[in-house]
Structure 1
Amino acid sequence: MTPSVLISGAGVAGTTAAYFLARSGWRVTVVERAAGVRSSGNPVDVRGPALPVARAMGVLPALREHATHADAMRVVDAAGRTIARLPMQASPDAVEIPRADLAAVLFAAARDHADFRYDDAVTALEPDETGVGVTFDRAAPQRFDLVVGADGLHSAVRRLAFAPEREVVSHLGVWVATLPLGGPSDDPRDVLMYNEPGRMVSVHPARGNALAALIFRGAAVPGMDHRDTAAHRRFVAAAYAGAGWRTPQLLERLETAELYFDAVSRVHLPAWTRGRVTLVGDAASCVSLFGDGSSLAMAGAHTLATALSGAPSDLGAALRRYEAEHRTRTDPKVRHAGRSAALIVPRSRLALAARNTAARLLTRR
């Protein structure tokens, strides 16, 4: 009998897992809360362990076709003068791509292999020794042999099967907001980055429709709803009051533009699997500030599918093998999260001066 799997989340991890699980003999259903393929255009990287996954899916040419045009990151001062210019990618094989395009390419590869159900969500799980009963917000209840939570940092599957979010997710003291600027950047090849102590502003050329990112330090806010966009706009505007460079114009755009906003957080779970429910991607582990989250999500989804294809009759052993292998990739990112934040958003003027000095030296080399 063909084993069945429900994947909650049609993002990077979910679509990648759907593709490989279906090809290894699973009957795959994917449920996604959003009404369609996700639209966030934030640039992400496909590199390292994600590149062989993309090759195996046959999507690498499509990813390169949709790649951004950014060649370098240019650090600027308040007057827009260049402090340093650094190459974007250490590896020539890496691909930087708007997240919306990555999601669309992965969905195109997986859509004929799985049943995708949009505008719905998991609301209850009833696991037992032989499967998991699933209740949905809209569809009729259904039973599956396995449930995979690929539904991001604020995972409903993790909350239902493991623990409340407040017990397993910790704020790392940094917030991220991104928004499209509705037109091309002044510099079509460079990402422009401006810093003040504790806050950063960048403009990315993307693929002709520039994107702004505002990354800043700040304590956790109890009760902050990750879906309350109006509150997010107010919070970001307050954090950037009085900031220089292009910030005033960006804050005007902030009032009406589509906004992505969230905390940089660490997910800490002793295990990613509980019975016949497992987690992958951001639901299981934290995201790197340097864009490795999507690459790790693809690699983790492929590792999960490979483990399950090798031992379909022993789910427990397969899921333990998946976690043991993929934690070797994610654990170093967790340990180095603070170092990444120090480079992107230095806390003090002294730390900012030291970062800029190091950037100048790298530019000269």
Structure 2
Amino acid sequence: MITPPPLSLYVHIPWCVQKCPYCDFNSHAQKGEIPEVLYIDALLEDLATDIAKYQLQNGTNAHNDNRKLHSIFIGGGTPSLISPEQIGRLLKGVEAQIPFEDNIEITMEANPGTIEAKRFAQFQQQGVNRISIGVQSFEDEKLTALGRIHGKEEAINAANLAHKIGLNSFNLDLMHGLPNQSQAQALADLDKAIELNPYHLSWYQLTIEPNTLFYSKPPVLPDDDDLWDIFEQGHQRLTEAGYVQYEISGYSKPGYQCRHNLNYWHFGDYLGIGCGSHGKLSFNDGRIVRTVKVKHPKGYLAAYQNLVKPYLDAETLVADEDRPFEYFMNRFRLIEPCPKAEFVERTGLSINHIEVQIQTAIEQGYLTETATHWHITQKGKLFFNDLVELFVEE
């Protein structure tokens, strides 16, 4: 048996103004007017299809029976390109199909560009209570290198506006290890972000991913020694400013962790609707199912317009032998200790299933253990991939 975890919803909006050279997400440069009314219609039908297929409301098989939504994350792409009215219609349509928890967290990603920032209050009026602002840097030269279409002042104004309208929380996305970035520049970016006093700060290193422009034309990046110095000094500055690191790249003021991301890291359940979105559902018969939706907007909208193909592109069962790796790959991203009981509850497996791998991780200095918890060590964080690969069964 698998103890029912919280249920979240991820909504993917695929359009953006232009594709950034580091981005490997399923995003598509906007060409002409976004078919937002049609796309919201499709999203709501996509959700209804999942609810019916997996018996998520008034059903008998899924652990999700009549559970309320714990969180919603609207990502992209650039969701703030969609009008506030259509975001409101989306949220009302979702709530009509799955009830919300009283304190549901509803996050939407947004660019700090002038047009989108002016809409923050309107998005808030439609039910969005958390904004994640893609700042990435406060240096105009670096923003240009990253393909960003906003400038330093727009980023500052967006953060100040988020404070002014009284959002429950907002996040700043900030990267370091940028092309030709010095330690001083990286830390100056971080100092500016701290000065703007967001409730949450996602501070992460730029990585070069396949299928990106940076992968085919690699820029000059800081070396490993510089990156480590940036992290150490930056971590100290964040801690002194009152931020708590609760996840590898996630820092927040106490009580302002991202609930949606926490559900991912705790191996919770989530529905995914929209182009290329991923979902994970656990069932009371012990199954864990992963889903992927049709990736391209044309194909996705065809499913709504004429049902040429269904929204669901792929569905896979997570085998017992794969569950330890999938669980720990998520759970060990968190800084807090990992309860042994949670492993059993979320995977449906016994501790005996992983005794050998856990002992190896302890012997190699990646983990420490108490009677009730495992705790990732500093070495485990540094060699995270080596740690989680211990749980890959041949």
Q: TM-score normalised to the size of structure 1?
A: 0.30
Q: TM-score normalised to the size of structure 2?
A: 0.28
Higher relative contact order (Cα pairs below 8 Å, separated by 6+ residues): 1
